[in-house]
Amino acid sequence: MGASFVPMSQVNDNQPLGTPTWLDLGVSDVDAAKDYYATLFGWDFEDGPLGTTCLLRGLPVAGLRAGDSTAGTAWRVHLATDDCDATAKAVEAAGGTVVEEPHEVGDLGRAALVVDTVGVALGLWQGRAFPGCRLVNEPDTLVRNDLVTANPRPARDFYTAVFDFTLDGNPDLPDFDFTFLRRPDGYEIGGILGLPGAKSAWATTFEVADTDATVARAGAAVTPEDTPYGRSATFTDPFGVELSVIARPAE
């Protein structure tokens, strides 16, 4: 939802605090998810300590794991930290809950699972050998995350307290209750959209080369729309998970 985007990039190191650095999806049938996302995005797959890693040009771009996808789950975002233990404590101090305490994931990094003040689960990731998504902001990779919630004020208070984000509005969307989330260096990591009646969730957007072609491959009965940021569409995968795609205009 409403954003300025950054150029395509390859990630080689642990990202600064609060940057969306990894995403994974729990599904009841991982093999079926592989088939679907291979068709949708051209991904390859490799099994390992993080479950099934989705690859583009041999580099990790997302993950799949066995889980229950029948309850309207979403792609789960993991935010970067250089001190997982300290960030987990900050989550609790800001009114959130630590569901999985900080723990080592081999030599890949240190991780925790937390729940924010509007009930959304997210991961914390202190990357070492594995920084997270190695490709972002290019076709068939993650380009954006936005928190959608009916109760935006406590969410904004939580994320600014835990991750040192600052907030500012979006003049392109004057009719929406939308604020950008920015790191202390000014880098925009996403936003928070207040939407009455919405179930709180981090919404995930993937960049694509051609939105209409991607929607056709998905077999989705939706019509892409032109926005100030590109041609976009939102649809639900076969596992009940909502995702968005966008083709950005050529610069």
Say yes or no to pLDDT of 171 above 90.
no
Q: Where are the alpha helices (DSSP H) in the chain?
A: 30-41, 84-93, 152-163, 211-218
* Distance from C-alpha of 69 to C-alpha of 226, rounded to nearest angstrom: 30
Residue pLDDT, tens place only, 173-206: 677 889 999 999 999 999 999 999 999 999 999 9
Mean pLDDT value of segment 95-108 = 97
Specify the fold of 9-135. 2,3-Dihydroxybiphenyl 1,2-Dioxygenase; domain 1 (3.10.180)
Specify the fold of 139-247. 2,3-Dihydroxybiphenyl 1,2-Dioxygenase; domain 1 (3.10.180)
> How do the domains of the chain map onto residue ranges?
9-135, 139-247
Per-residue DSSP letter, 248: P
For the ranges 146-150, 166-170, 182-186, which has the lowest average pLDDT? 166-170
CB hemisphere CA count around 62 (13 angstroms): 27
Decide: residue 115, CB within 10 A, 0-12 exposed, 13-18 middle, 19+ buried: middle
pLDDT category of residue 1 using cuts at 50, 70 and 90: very low
Q: Tell me what pLDDT residue 176 has.
A: 82
Q: First vs last Cα of the chain: how many Å apart?
A: 20
* Beta strand spans in the chain (E): 9-10, 20-27, 44-48, 51-56, 59-66, 76-80, 97-105, 109-115, 121-127, 135-136, 141-149, 166-169, 177-182, 188-194, 201-207, 225-227, 230-236, 242-247
Residue pLDDT, tens place only, 18-64: 999 999 999 989 999 999 999 999 999 999 988 999 999 999 999 99
**Fold identical between 9-135 and 139-247?**
yes
Average pLDDT, whole number, for the chain?
92
Q: What's the predicted TM-score (pTM) here? A: 0.92
Q: Tell me what pLDDT residue 246 has.
A: 97
Mean pLDDT value of segment 76-93 = 98
In terms of Cα–Cα distance, which of 130, 156, 185 is closest to 6?
185
pLDDT category of residue 9 using cuts at 50, 70 and 90: confident
Q: Tell me what pLDDT residue 41 has.
A: 98
Q: Tell me what pLDDT residue 71 has.
A: 46
pLDDT category of residue 2 using cuts at 50, 70 and 90: very low
Q: Tell me what pLDDT residue 251 has.
A: 63
Say yes or no to pLDDT of 70 above 50.
no
